C-alpha cells in the first residue's frame, strides 16, 4: 500500500480544482487507477461488471469513462504501466498475495452463509489486477488516442520521473511513494470522483482532488529528499513493509531531523540495530535512482480509432453501443478542445 506519510502531508496538502490543471499533462500510475476502478465499479452485492463470458469489465468501464471526463476538464492523462517489480518488493507482493488468498476463502464462505456486506467486503479484498486487464487497458487507451508509457520497473517511479523531468506537470496516484520517487507534484483522488465514497462503513464523504508539492513538504519540515526516504524506511515502505515497530511518521521525522540519517540514529541508540539488517543503500537507491526510461512516444493526444474502441468494448465485452458511441463523441470533442488548450498554453510560454 505504500508508505504512510498522511499525517505529515496533511499539513501542506491543498484541494485543487480540475480547472487548475487545464491543458496540463498528468502522469497517472495506471496500476493504481485501474485497481481503484476494479474495487469501486461493482454492483451493490460486490459483483464486478462482467461480459457474457464472465470476464471482468469494471476496469474498462473506469478507464473509458474516467479518461473521457478528465479530458472534458482539459486534463491530459498519460497512463504509466508497471514493468517488472524490483526484487526487493517480493516480500510485500507475497504478503499481498496471502491476504488475497485469505479474502478469497472468506468470500467463498460468505457466499454460502454470509451477509451482503461481507460478500461485498471480501469480494473487494480479493480483487486481482491481472496481466490481461493491464494489456486490455493499454489497448483501449491506445485506441482512444491517449498516450501510455511502459515503465521498465515500478510504474509509480516512472510516473514520478516523467513529472520531475518536465514531461508532465504532476503525477497522480493514491500512494505517497510518488514523493519519495521525486515527483514534484502529487495529485491524489484524481481517478476517484468528487462524489462520495465509503471509508468501510455506511458513512459517505466527499472526496476531492488534492495536490501535494514536494518542495512544500521538504521546506515545511526542513529536510531533503534523502531524509524523506529515510523517514519512509523507518515507517515502512513496499521494500521494507514492517518498518520499525513503534515508529510512525511523526517520530520518524523527529529522529531524522535530529540525527540526519538512519545510521546516525542507530549509533545514538534512537533506532534499534536490527534495521541495519536491511540493505539500506539498496532501498534508498530504489527511491532515489529508480530504474526509469525516457518515454518513447511523444505523449501527445492523437485521433481516436473509433472502430477499435467499438470492437473492444461493444463486440468483445458487450458494452452498450449507444453509450459507447456517445462516449466516443465526447472523447473526440474533448481531445479537440484539449489540444487547443495545450497549443494556447504552449504559446503563452513564449510571452
Partner DNA sequence: CACCGTAA
Partner DNA sequence: TTACGGTGG
Flag whether 104 is marked binding: no
Please report, as residue ranges, which positions from 47 to 76 form the binding site for DNA (by CB under 7 A).
Answer: 47-51, 57, 60-62, 65-66, 68-69
12 grid coordinates: 501542506
Question: Binding of DNA at residue 317 (CB under 7 A)?
Answer: yes
Flag whether 277 is marked binding: no
Report the distance separating Cα 345 and Cα 232, nearest Å: 36
15 SS3 class: strand
8 Å CB contact between 185 and 152: no
Question: Binding of DNA at residue 192 (CB under 7 A)?
Answer: yes
Binding residue for DNA, selected from 41, 143, 247, 283, defined by CB under 7 A: 41
Please report, as residue ranges, which positions from 160 to 179 form the binding site for DNA (by CB under 7 A).
Answer: none
Flag whether 238 is marked binding: yes
Flag whether 291 is marked binding: no
Question: Is the Cβ of residue 47 or residue 224 nearer to DNA in the bound state?
Answer: 47
Question: Binding of DNA at residue 337 (CB under 7 A)?
Answer: no
Question: Binding of DNA at residue 116 (CB under 7 A)?
Answer: no
User: CB of 53: closest distance to DNA in angstroms?
Assistant: 10
User: CB of 304: closest distance to DNA in angstroms?
Assistant: 15
291 grid coordinates: 530504474
Question: Binding of DNA at residue 36 (CB under 7 A)?
Answer: yes
Question: Binding of DNA at residue 191 (CB under 7 A)?
Answer: yes
Flag whether 296 is marked binding: no
Question: Is the Cβ of residue 48 or residue 295 nearer to DNA in the bound state?
Answer: 48
140 grid coordinates: 483501449
User: CB of 149: closest distance to DNA in angstroms?
Assistant: 22
Question: Binding of DNA at residue 338 (CB under 7 A)?
Answer: no
Please report, as residue ranges, which positions from 203 to 242 form the binding site for DNA (by CB under 7 A).
Answer: 207
Question: Binding of DNA at residue 320 (CB under 7 A)?
Answer: yes
- Give 28's strand partners: 79, 172
User: CB of 42: closest distance to DNA in angstroms?
Assistant: 6
- Give 79's strand partners: 28, 148
Residues 1-37, buried b or exposed e (16+ Cβ, 10 A)?
A: ebbbbeebbeebbeebebeebbbbbbbbbbbbbbbbb
**Nearest Cα to 29, choosing from 231, 189, 139?**
189
Question: Is the Cβ of residue 261 or residue 325 nearer to DNA in the bound state?
Answer: 325
Exposed/middle/buried for residue 319 (C-beta within 10 Å: 0-12, 13-18, 19+):
buried
Binding residue for DNA, selected from 6, 17, 43, 294, defined by CB under 7 A: 43
- Give 14's strand partners: 211
Which range binds DNA by CB under 7 A, 46-54, 81-89, 104-112, 299-307?
46-54
Flag whether 242 is marked binding: no
Question: Binding of DNA at residue 31 (CB under 7 A)?
Answer: no
Size of the chain, expressed as the number of residues it contains: 351
Question: Is the Cβ of residue 51 or residue 263 nearer to DNA in the bound state?
Answer: 51
How many residues touch DNA under the rule CB under 7 A: the total is 36
Write out the DSSP string of 116-181: HHHHHHHHHHT----HHHHHHHHHHHHHHT--EEE-SS-HHHHHHHHHHTTSSSEEE-S-THHHHT
Q: What are phi and psi of 14, to 5 degrees?
A: -140, 155
Within 8 A by CB and 6+ apart from 298, the residues are 147
* Chain residues that interact with DNA, rule: CB under 7 A: 36-37, 40-44, 47-51, 57, 60-62, 65-66, 68-69, 191-193, 195-197, 207, 317-320, 322-323, 326-327, 330
Q: What residues are designated binding site for Mg(2+)? A: 29, 82, 154, 156, 175, 177, 238
Amino acid at each position: 500500500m505504500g508508505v504512510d506519510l498522511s499525517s505529515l502531508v496533511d499539513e501542506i496538502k491543498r484541494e485543487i480544482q480540475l480547472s487548475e490543471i487545464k491543458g496540463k499533462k498528468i502522469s497517472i500510475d495506471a496500476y493504481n487507477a485501474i485497481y481503484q476502478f476494479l474495487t469501486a465499479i461493482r454492483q451493490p452485492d460486490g459483483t464486478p461488471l462482467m461480459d457474457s463470458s464472465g470476464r471482468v469489465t469494471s476496469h474498462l468501464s473506469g478507464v473509458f469513462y474516467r479518461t473521457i471526463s478528465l479530458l472534458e476538464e482539459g486534463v491530459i492523462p498519460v497512463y504509466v504501466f508497471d514493468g517488472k517489480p524490483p526484487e526487493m518488493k517480493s516480500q510485500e507482493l507475497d504478503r499481498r498475495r496471502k491476504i488475497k488468498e485469505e479474502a478469497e476463502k472468506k468470500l467463498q464462505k460468505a457466499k454460502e452463509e454470509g451477509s451482503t456486506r461481507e460478500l461485498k467486503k471480501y469480494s473487494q479484498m480479493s480483487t486481482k489486477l491481472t496481466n490481461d486487464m493491464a494489456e486490455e487497458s493499454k489497448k483501449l487507451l491506445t485506441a482512444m488516442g491517449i498516450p501510455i508509457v511502459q515503465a521498465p520497473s515500478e510504474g509509480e517511479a516512472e510516473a514520478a520521473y516523467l513529472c520531475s523531468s518536465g514531461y508532465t506537470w504532476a503525477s497522480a496516484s493514491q500512494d505517497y511513494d510518488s514523493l519519495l520517487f521525486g515527483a514534484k507534484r502529487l495529485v491524489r483522488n484524481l481517478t476517484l470522483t468528487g462524489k462520495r465514497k465509503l471509508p468501510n462503513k455506511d458513512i459517505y464523504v466527499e472526496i476531492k482532488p488534492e495536490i501535494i508539492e514536494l518542495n512544500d513538504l521538504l521546506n515545511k519540515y526542513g529536510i531533503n529528499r534523502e531524509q524523506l526516504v529515510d523517514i519512509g524506511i523507518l515507517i515502512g515502505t513496499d521494500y521494507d513493509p514492517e518498518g520499525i515497530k513503534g515508529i510512525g511518521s511523526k517520530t520518524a521525522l523527529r529522529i531524522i531531523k535530529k540525527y540526519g540519517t538512519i545510521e546516525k540514529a542507530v549509533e545514538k541508540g534512537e533506532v534499534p540495530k536490527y534495521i541495519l539488517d536491511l540493505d539500506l543503500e539498496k532501498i534508498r537507491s530504489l527511491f532515489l535512482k529508480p530504474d526509469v526510461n525516457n518515454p518513447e512516444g511523444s505523449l501527445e493526444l492523437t485521433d481516436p480509432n473509433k472502430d477499435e474502441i467499438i470492437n473492444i468494448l461493444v463486440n468483445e465485452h458487450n458494452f452498450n453501443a449507444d453509450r459507447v458511441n456517445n462516449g466516443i463523441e465526447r472523447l473526440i470533442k474533448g481531445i479537440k478542445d484539449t489540444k487547443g488548450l495545450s497549443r494556447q498554453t504552449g504559446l503563452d510560454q513564449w510571452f
